[in-house]
Amino acid sequence: MKILVINCGSSSLKYQFIDTETEAVLAKGLVERIGIDGRLKHTPAGKEAVVKEESIPDHNKAVSMVIDALTDPEHGVITDMKEIDAVGHRIVHGGEKFASSVVINDEVIAAIEECSDLAPLHNPANLIGIRACQELMPGTPMVGVFDTAFHQTMPEKAYTYGIPHEYYEKYKVRRYGFHGTSHRYVSGRVAAILGKPIEDLKIVVCHLGNGASVCAVKNGESVDTSMGLTPLEGLIMGTRSGDLDPAILQFIMNKEGLDIDGMMNVLNKKSGILGVSGISSDFREIEDAYAAGDPAAKRANDAFVYRVVKYIGAYAAAMNGIDAIAFTAGLGENNAKIRKEICEYLGYLGLKVDDEKNNVRGKEVVFTTEDSKVAALLVPTDEEMMIARDTASLVK
């Protein structure tokens, strides 16, 4: 089947067009600056990328440009829109309503709408993408794949916050977790690479990108993860604070005269690696500054690594041991130094890094020694492939 995978944001739309029989990516692209001015970059497999700059007032125009690009006689990969067998949509928050991917119908759309107050920036944008596709591709089946779904197996003790239970009962305030599609894909690959059934494995997946989260996967199920009600909890991220003492909010708001929106903006956009270093949210710049002896870069680097290590320790306790630790996403896939620094703390687990094997980027590898008691792996994530697979299997 040929599946169009769509990841729709408020002003952007990423897509991949995947043949699920061969798992080949036939084309991919990005529409940016929707509602501002407009730019589409379309890359057909094995060919040069094409860029189109023209007015893109709304998502309907963006989707129609994607269809035009896919069917273009020169840069296209199909001749007719009808060759798109189904569309898979990435959806950020499924609340407690979705524990797996689903075929989208009116009921599902209403349920995604209901989850919108849990992800006010993301779910409405995802819905706009769904509606635009419905309008332009009527009759083409659509599937929703949720970032939160994989974590619905978390036990109550892991998702419960230490606040009055009535807030859960009234408003469903609990931990949900995100990056679920990535954690599911990577843990599945770990089992395949190690040649063991996932049902027998205790795996920690470290998804370390701009947004970052750690997940404990026991017997193929997520039993805990570092993000919570929103993607703000957990690790120190590119610009997000991760865990902190909630009383800090009031303290800083009083000192700086901030209202709650201003404070949340600081925690989401001005904190994390950017805030701690004062240099950048991008680890490449942190590494360069660190190498040049900048103490602020070292502070950010060390605090980031230490937080990851603490979560791995917590999940070793939660699962009563670890068989494998996998690293993925921008940093996890490209930064051997960070992988090494994290693993150096894990000698107590019997984990031993093979430096030569660790010296790679972006490809699957086990980078621990033969006698290491815990396997450490680099596994490039592929959320789009997972969305395409789910979509194909649900609409078949």
Active-site residue numbers? 147
Segment interacting with ligand ADP, rule: CB under 6 A, options 280-288, 318-326, 344-352, 366-374: 280-288
Locate 110 and state its tokens.
């209403």
Applying CB under 6 A, does 331 fall inside the site for ligand ADP? yes
Binding span for ligand ADP by CB under 6 A among 206-214, 247-255, 309-317, 346-354: 206-214
Least separation in angstroms between residue 57's CB and ligand ADP is 26
Where residue 91 falls (left for φ over 0; alpha for ψ -120 to 50; beta otherwise) is beta
211 binds ligand ADP (CB under 6 A): yes
Give me the amino acid identity at 231.
P
**Burial category of 258 from C-beta neighbours within 10 Å (exposed 0-12, middle 13-18, buried 19 and up):** middle
Burial of 71 (0-12, 13-18, 19+ CB in 10 A): middle
Between 91 and 318, CB nearer to ligand ADP: 91
C-beta neighbour count of 327 within 10 angstroms: 29
Q: Tell me the closest approach of the beta carbon of residue 210 to ligand ADP, in angstroms.
A: 3
Neighbours of 218 (CB within 10 A): 23
Asked if 210 is part of the footprint of ligand ADP (rule: CB under 6 A), the reply reads yes
Using the rule CB under 6 A, is 234 a contact of ligand ADP?
A: no
Residue of 159, 283, 290, 367 interacting with ligand ADP (CB under 6 A)? 283
Q: How far is the CB of 75 from ligand ADP (least distance, A)?
A: 25
Q: Which residue is nearest to ligand ADP (CB)?
A: 330
Q: What span, in angstroms and rounded, lies between the C-alpha atoms of 386 and 396? A: 15
Specify the pairing of strand 324-328 against strand 202-208: parallel
Q: Does 330 bind ligand ADP (CB under 6 A)?
A: yes
Q: Considering only 152-160, 247-255, 325-333, 336-344, which stretch makes contact with ligand ADP by CB under 6 A?
A: 325-333
Question: Which residue intervals of the chain are DSSP H helices?
Answer: 59-71, 106-114, 123-136, 156-159, 166-171, 180-194, 247-256, 260-269, 272-277, 283-291, 295-319, 329-334, 336-344, 355-358, 383-395
Choose between 241 and 334: whose C-beta lies nearer to ligand ADP.
Answer: 334
Q: Which stretch binds ligand ADP (CB under 6 A): 54-62, 89-97, 113-121, 207-215?
A: 207-215
* Single residue of 68, 72, 85, 282 touching ligand ADP by CB under 6 A: 282
Task: Establish if 102 lies at the interface with ligand ADP (CB under 6 A).
Answer: no
Indicate the DSSP class of residue 353.
B
Residue pair 66/59 in contact (Cβ under 8 Å)? The answer is no
Q: Would you say 123 or 182 has its CB closer to ligand ADP?
A: 182
Nearest CB to ligand ADP, comparing residues 318 and 329: 329
Q: Is 304 in the site for ligand ADP (CB under 6 A)?
A: no
Unique residue bearing structure tokens 């937080």: 307
Nearest to residue 327, comparing CAs of 222, 157, 173, 209?
209
Binding site for ligand ADP (CB under 6 A): 209-211, 238, 282-284, 329-331, 334-335
